[in-house]
Amino acid sequence: MNRRERLMGEALEEAGKALALGEVPVGAVVALGDRVIARAHNLRQTRRDVSAHAEILALRAAGEALGRWQLEGCELYVTLEPCAMCAGAAQQARLAALCFGAFDGRAGCCGSVYKLPADERLGGYVPVLGGLRAAECQALLDQFFSERRKKDRQSRTQA
């Protein structure tokens, strides 16, 4: 297993924590070289905070760990293709790379719907690598949404 696959494995562990909380299972880690300096998972429902995406929380923690908001030299690993908010934050942080697992054809802004980190008009360029351990990342999402649909059907039949 190479370094990037290993780091995505750490993001997958974070996604599992989100799943256990009933959150959409997205996990993220920020690495500086081989060292993970920050990790997080989705907490939107738990915190009742629209911005509590795994990526945002991990970038904030990385900034705290390094004592700076500019994260040059750091790489973000996230299990789902970032949305516009998270892709924009990654670009603003001046990351060395953004690596994600599952593609998001509905809201992904790192290649699927839009290519925000590649849009130099917005102040920078962040190299993106998508599809890293994609099957494992997608399997967690499929599990979550399957269980959610099942619960929704059960609640409709009981009503």
Q: Exactly one of 23, 55, 75, 81 is catalytic; name it.
A: 55
Own/partner pairs, 21-24, CB within 8 angstroms, 24+ separation: 21/45, 21/46, 24/141, 24/144
Q: What Cα–Cα distance (Å) separates residue 38 from each residue in 7, 90, 107, 158?
A: 11, 14, 24, 43
**What is the spatial distance between Cα 40 and Cα 14, in angstroms, rounded to a whole number?**
6
**What is the spatial distance between Cα 83 and Cα 69, in angstroms, rounded to a whole number?**
20
Sheet holding 97-102, edge to edge: 35-41, 27-32, 74-80, 97-102, 128-129
Contact by Cβ (8 Å): 112, 81: yes
Assess whether 75 carries a catalytic annotation. Answer: no
Provide CB contacts within 8 A for 142, sequence distance 6+: none
Catalytic residue list: 55
